[in-house]
Amino acid sequence: MPDLTISILTAVIGFFLSFLVDFFKKWRSSVYVGIFAAIFGIGWIVYVFLEQGFLEATIIFSILLFSFFSFPVPERSGAQSQEIIGKLKEQGAREIVLSKNKERILLDFLFAGLFMGIAVLYFLFGPNSPITLVLLYSFVSLVAGLMKRIRLFRSLRFFYAEQEEALYAVSFIETKKYPLKELSEASVQTRPDVLQLFPLFSLFSPHTDYTTSVGKTWKLSFSGEKIYLTPDPSESMDFVLREERKKLEEIEVKPFYHQSNWKRLLGKGYFAATVKGVGAYAALLTLFTFMGISPLVTAMVILLFWIFNLWISDRVLKMALDMKEISDPQLLPIIEKVFSRAGLSHVTIYVTESVEYNGLAAGANIGRSLVALTSETLKLPLEAIEGILAHEAIHVKKRDVLTGQLLRFVLIGWIVIGIFFIHETYPNLLKNHQILVFFVLWILIFLLPAFQSLITQWMEVRADHLGATLLDGGNVQMAKSLSILSEHQDQASEKAIGYHVVPEEEQEAEEKDERLSSLERDSWFFRFLEFQFMSHPPMYWRVHSLRTTETGWNIGKIKLWWNSRFQESLPNWKKKSTDRHSSSNSSDGSV
């Protein structure tokens, strides 16, 4: 590992160079600034290489790149934003004055500071280990996020264009246009729910946080995106109150420190420190190092802590994602039918608020498992929801969540043990053959997701085909469920992208760039990436395999997936890469 001081200084240099390039981009001298930034960055890497060695220089190089591209470079300058605002005013758009006070931005600093403080303590007192690098990347990400929030807080302005019936959000960071015809739901909260809005407290990406005060907050749900804003109390928002919505009642939201939120705060904080990051492990390692406890005892305690976290993962996720048990009378009979056929009687089905179409299974074993669907997924046809539930039921029945966690632990453990063994047995190898060791190390890191993909894809294909046996419509219904899910995911994604207001030349380029549907067979390179490194097979293949085989799970299905995994990863010289098939998509641990 490189020296900590040099690592932190590298992150600062990356931020500074990115700021420098962005600051001078509007002048002709920007090309010279870019050249200077490149030369300075290369010089810094060479300096680290001469001082610390090849491996350390490589890590520093990755830190420099990460910090450079993590800097929140605005899409528009102040002059460009003013030009957009001027055009909106010329068209008669009405500005919605926002309520702004520093208390809101200080809340973001408070939560980010807590996790950044853990990293700082580890940097000061913890051992120099791979956790240092993980914490440094998290630290840089949090700093970049705070800088983006500050820019947004200072420059954000909202406009309502009545002729277009659209809401505009204009800032130095980005400009977005939200057509009111895409508005599906509106509500008002007494204050922003920071436990829901802070990025580390959520698993999905359900919202865009435009809140600039701790006052009355409007929550507007558009197709593919949910936004939160805090207009001034004197502002009228009647343009979103159509006849069917009438007058909205305010939903009371207590401050995060209120007694009623203590349980949520604890659950979300624990989730952020153990699931989304390594803060809890870093704090434990720092404490044990400071107390002088032996590395063996420390390793055993951390292992037990990991097992404990796996055991309570269902409870942590339930609190962190604000899950609520599904009580819809139309869904309850479907849930009962699917899970009784799967032989599962102790699994509770929850809903979590999100504009994403997704579902997930969690828990270490059947007795402590849960299945959660997003609120948007519950808007799909009942037949499609039944297929998604059947897929997740198989994940629970086969203990796929536990298997996946153990697989990651074993793979990472073998890499760590191998490196430790080489370091202790062949110390001169690291010193005299740094380039060779570097390439071996990166090959192992590169192959790690490929090894994981072998198991996780097999579990996903099994969940599709065994899940079909729980449905009255078998493979046909499961294929239709995944197709419907995929189509809605694509539509929501396209809507969310379409809200961005981009320059005309970029808009023309985007129109020329044909986007393939998730139900279409992509070029061989993207098929290769999905089949070899992703947790799920490509979308088109999953549905195609269901539609072209009989309902059930057998060795033939495994062979089909195994052969396709390699055949579909190669260039197809006989057929065009635009061949069409069908399938579905999701994230790790979900449909």
Provide the β-strand partners of residue 169.
Answer: 158, 176
Question: Using CB atoms within 10 A of its CB, is residue 118 exposed (0-12), middle (13-18) or buried (19+)?
Answer: buried
**Quick one: how far is CA 22 from the chain centroid?**
26
- Look at the chain and count its residues: 591
H-type alpha helices, 24-101: 30-52, 54-70, 78-90
CA atoms in the 13 A half-sphere facing the CB of 327: 3
392 catalytically annotated:
yes
Distance CA 503, CA 80 (A): 10
How is residue 133 written in tokens?
């690098």
Which structure tokens are listed for 413?
């453990």
Q: What is the DSSP letter of 357?
A: -
For 534-551, letters b (16+ CB in 10 Å) and e give bbbbbbbbbbbbbbebeb
Backbone torsions φ then ψ of 112, nearest 5 degrees = -65, -40
- Name the catalytic one among 225, 376, 386, 392: 392
- DSSP states of 483-530: HHHHHHHHHHHHHHHHTB---HHHHHHHHHSPPPPTTB---HHHHHHH
C-alpha to C-alpha distance for 183 and 317, rounded to whole angstroms:
29
Helix, coil or strand: residue 420: helix
Q: Which residues are annotated as catalytic? A: 392
